[in-house]
Amino acid sequence: MFRKSNVASQAVQVASLLGDASGGAVRVGISGWSYKQWRNVFYPPGLRLRDQLNFASRAFPSIELNGSFYSLQRPESYRSWRDATPDGFVFSIKGGRYVTHLKRLREAEQGLANFFASGVLELEAKLGPILWQLPPTLKFEPERLSEFFALLPRTHEQAAELARQHSDWLAGRVAFGAGGRAKIRHTLEVRHESFVCREFVALLKKHQIALCVADSAGLYPLIEDQSADFAYVRLHGSTQLYTSGYTHAELADWAQRIHAFRSGRHAPTARLAASSAEADGRKRDVYVYFDNDVKVRAPFDAWNLERLLRGDAPRDPPESLASVTEEPRSVWAAWR
């Protein structure tokens, strides 16, 4: 069902990177889990829709939740997702487009209150970083960003306090979690060239916001400066947004970059906005999500990246992926 890659030697160079003394822990996962075309490919035949998260969360240690971007979810949904996943699992949550795309970060306090009141904190220990993705038309404006960053809660306790200021229309479907001082991390994904500047990186560092390293098939800036105590990577597709997969050589290159992120270094070919920035040697946890879901490449690419990070050779993707239809062949279990 598979063939070993010819980049095994590259795999050895990035051995044992999922968590050891040389750097922070790495979590490689997928963006979302409920896709029709994944049935009978990633998911085994006969698997119920309600069991997909259970399956996916045991294949990967983290999943990026994207539904929260399009609309406010409900507390019972977050509780069910929390309970369906194993101990140690982590969700990253995409912040609402009401804040980023409609309000464009202006007067964002009410939108943030509603977002956190909707049940995000019910994930408790499984709540990972929160991703704020900006629209391509939003340019770098330091004042606008500074005002937004100042509103972001940095602990569960602060988020619960903000959430209690939710809109009246949300009453009856809110939850504030258990509180506490557990940290909440934030990352920012930008899509306008004006952000490729030293001032932007300095602002992120001041507020301890991670710069999301986003590979968007060349459509948007790819910036690798590290600005917080963790790194966040989104892989949307190598040549076609959300669709194309990654070759073994491309995955090996990303493995090397992730090694650099987790150990506080810059890769030799790092694309930096602050071009003369010195690497700080600061160990970082790294979150990596594959968002190239259209042709079911995300789970296979994610697992191959994990293999490279462990020092194993990647495997060629199943041939059936080239002609994925609404009723694709069953391949994941045998391939893995």
**Per-residue pLDDT tens digits for 65-115:** 999 999 999 999 999 999 999 999 999 999 999 999 999 999 999 999 999
Percent of the chain with pLDDT over 70: 89
* pLDDT at 163 (0 to 100): 98
Note the pLDDT tens digit of each residue in 112-122. 999 999 999 99
* pLDDT at 290 (0 to 100): 97
- Does the residue 202 lie in any domain? yes
For the chain, give percent helix, strand, coil, nearest 5: 40, 15, 45
- Does the residue 3 lie in any domain? no
Question: Which tokens hold the place of 179?
Answer: 């509180």
Separation of alpha carbons 128 and 125, rounded Å: 8
Contacts of 321 (CB under 8 A, 6+ apart): 41, 245, 295, 296, 297, 300, 328, 331
Left if phi > 0, otherwise alpha if psi is -120 to 50, otherwise beta: which for 274?
Answer: beta
Which residue type is seen at 149?
F
- State yes or no: pLDDT of 144 exceeds 50: yes
Separation of alpha carbons 140 and 261, rounded Å: 24
User: Lowest-confidence range among 6-15, 175-184, 219-228, 281-290?
Assistant: 6-15
Number of domains within the chain: 1
Percent of the chain with pLDDT over 90: 80
**Mean pLDDT, the chain, as a whole number?**
91
* pLDDT at 14 (0 to 100): 39
The number of C-alpha atoms within 13 Å of 252 and in the hemisphere containing its C-beta is 17
Which residue range forms the structural domain that includes residue 86?
Answer: 8-335
Read off the pTM: 0.91
Query: Tokens 């010819």, residue?
Result: 6
* pLDDT at 15 (0 to 100): 38
* pLDDT at 335 (0 to 100): 66
End-to-end Cα, the chain, rounded Å: 9
User: Confidence band (pLDDT; 50, 70, 90) for 5?
Assistant: very low
* pLDDT at 8 (0 to 100): 38
Q: What is the mean pLDDT of residues 265-281?
A: 85
- State yes or no: pLDDT of 30 exceeds 70: yes
- 319 vs 77, higher pLDDT: 77
- Does the residue 279 lie in any domain? yes
* pLDDT at 308 (0 to 100): 97
Query: Tokens 């300095």, residue?
Result: 202
* pLDDT at 274 (0 to 100): 87
Is 188 buried (19+), middle (13-18) or exposed (0-12) by CB count in 10 A?
buried
- State yes or no: pLDDT of 142 exceeds 50: yes
- Does the residue 148 lie in any domain? yes
Within the chain, residue ranges assigned H as helices are 8-13, 52-59, 67-70, 75-84, 97, 109-117, 142-151, 156-163, 198-207, 248-262, 297-310, 332-335
β-bridge pairing 186-189 and 213-215: unpaired
Which residue type is seen at 288?
V
Question: Which tokens hold the place of 223?
Answer: 């910036």
* pLDDT at 18 (0 to 100): 66
- State yes or no: pLDDT of 149 exceeds 70: yes
- State yes or no: pLDDT of 278 exceeds 90: no
Which of 199, 294, 202 minimizes the C-alpha distance to 240?
Answer: 294
Residue 126 sits in a domain whose CATH number is 3.20.20.410
Note the pLDDT tens digit of each residue in 162-208. 999 999 999 999 999 988 899 999 999 999 999 999 999 999 999 99
- 260 vs 294, higher pLDDT: 260
- State yes or no: pLDDT of 327 exceeds 60: no
Question: Which tokens hold the place of 187?
Answer: 């990352």
* pLDDT at 16 (0 to 100): 37
Most confident of 21-25, 186-190, 274-278, 332-336: 186-190
- Does the residue 17 lie in any domain? yes
> Any idea what DSSP says for residue 219?
S
- State yes or no: pLDDT of 3 exceeds 70: no
Handedness of CA 150, 235, 40, 295 (dihedral sign): positive
- Does the residue 133 lie in any domain? yes
Separation of alpha carbons 320 and 324, rounded Å: 6
User: Confidence band (pLDDT; 50, 70, 90) for 6?
Assistant: very low
Which of 180, 4, 177 minimizes the C-alpha distance to 82?
Answer: 177
The number of C-alpha atoms within 13 Å of 236 and in the hemisphere containing its C-beta is 16
- State yes or no: pLDDT of 24 exceeds 60: yes
- Does the residue 50 lie in any domain? yes
Cβ proximity of 192 and 136 under 8 Å: yes
* pLDDT at 273 (0 to 100): 94
- Does the residue 2 lie in any domain? no
Separation of alpha carbons 254 and 271, rounded Å: 13
